[in-house]
Amino acid sequence: MAKVMMNSLPAGLTPEEVAEIEAAEKIPVIFDDDCPEMTDEMLKQFHRPAIKYP
């Protein structure tokens, strides 16, 4: 899962947008049939081509 640090967000966010992001940060990830948790094999398919083909 990608993690975004609050200090790396764009400077032009409104207080409401920051509050929304902070609230979303507290919601747990829920996997289901439409969005299953990825296996290690599935995750291996996500790589940078430059790493495989320098």
Q: What is the pLDDT of residues 25-36, one digit of tens each?
A: 899 989 999 989
Closest CA to 3 of 33, 30, 24, 34: 24
Whole-model pTM over 0.85: no
Handedness of CA 29, 34, 39, 44 (dihedral sign): negative
pLDDT of residue 50: 66
